[in-house]
Amino acid sequence: MPFTLGELAVRFGLALRGDPDRIIDHIGTIAGAGPRGLAFFANPKLVDQLTAANAGAIVLHPKMQEATTLDCLLADNPHASFAHIAQLLHPVPMAPAGVHPAAVVAADADIHPSAHVGPLVVIGARSRIGARAFIGAGSVIGDDVSLGDDVRLVARVTVMDKVVIGERSILHPGAVIGADGFGYAAEGERWVFVPQVGTVRIGCDVEIGANTAIDRGALEDTVIGNGVKMDNLVQIGHNCRVGDHTALAGCAGMAGSAEVGARCRIGGGVCIAGHLTICDDVTLTGTSFVTHDIREPGIYAGGGIPVESASEWRRIVGRVKRLGTLAQRVTDLERGAGSANDSAGTTDKDD
């Protein structure tokens, strides 16, 4: 649906520089959006890109408006404002209400009349599906599950027994919520499975990426707070807790009973060992390995050696391996210097 630039400015509380009657009907890149398209710009280091801009209008910070002659919407947070406008210009299509004939639904499941249940969906006993929920093709919902209003299971999502998912949450294809956690007791040479009797409770406005797995709790529940965002291929172990509005990038993993606070940013490939606590407002850079509690907000890094040529990498590793020998040599030299100083002091006193 098209909007004028003036309508967008009023709707989102933005200042406007340019033609308020310009029609905007889609979003795009600075170079490729076209005369009816809207782009955004937020990185002053890339200001040269504005010279090649082909968009009809740009969302940018007021301090950057002199760098372009294009029509502008001025925002203190251009990326966030652009995201809100993008949702307006490109809304998620509404699916028709009702249950597809190829779905299998338990007789005592409670499905709101406005919900959409797609083909080959399975819904178990006593499960509740909220208003305007979207259950995409091939999804499986176990017994006693509760899905809030406007929840969206895009396709082929598995939600196991007793899981609770809050309103407006989105789960992408292949996500598995509530599978058994990795819980075993050692008995001689064999492993004995410990029944996982908890479940998973997910808050409102959560988004869970493709092929992400969130295990059910062993004794207590695994808990995901409101507004949490997870990328693809994230692993959350049993009994973990993730605080409100924390974001986890692709391939991040949390071992069992780890807790991450609110508003944290967990980079791609980060590994968090089990039974650890990370406080609110922590950023972990990509591939960091966390082996101890983090009790102070801030940015933490613990990744491996950055990529180098193979020959240089071997030299670096060789030097690292020799650090122990080097440290011992330094210690020996310090001890020798201390002994020499002690001897010199004794001689001076005797003189």
Provide the CB-side half-sphere exposure for 232 (13 A, CA): 5
Amino acid making up residue 110: D
The dihedral built from the CA positions of residue 245, 246, 251 and 253, taken in this order, carries a sign that is negative
CA distance 53 to 308: 36
Segment (H or E) for 337: helix 323-350
3-state DSSP call for residue 87?
helix
- The SS3 assignment for 82 reads helix
Catalytic: which of 79, 84, 172, 238?
238
Q: How many CB atoms lie under 10 A from the CB of residue 226?
A: 17
Angle formed by the axes of helices 323-350 and 310-321, nearest 10°: 40
SS3 content of the chain, % helix, strand, coil (to 5): 20, 30, 50
Q: Are 306 and 288 in contact (CB under 8 A)?
A: no
Rounded to whole angstroms, the maximal C-alpha distance in the chain is 106
172 as an active site residue: the answer is: no
Q: In angstroms, rounded to a whole number, what is the distance separating the alpha carbons of residues 64 and 43?
A: 10
Task: Quote the tokens at residue 194.
Answer: 């410990």
Judge whether 246 and 260 are in contact, CB under 8 Å: yes
Residues classed as catalytic:
238
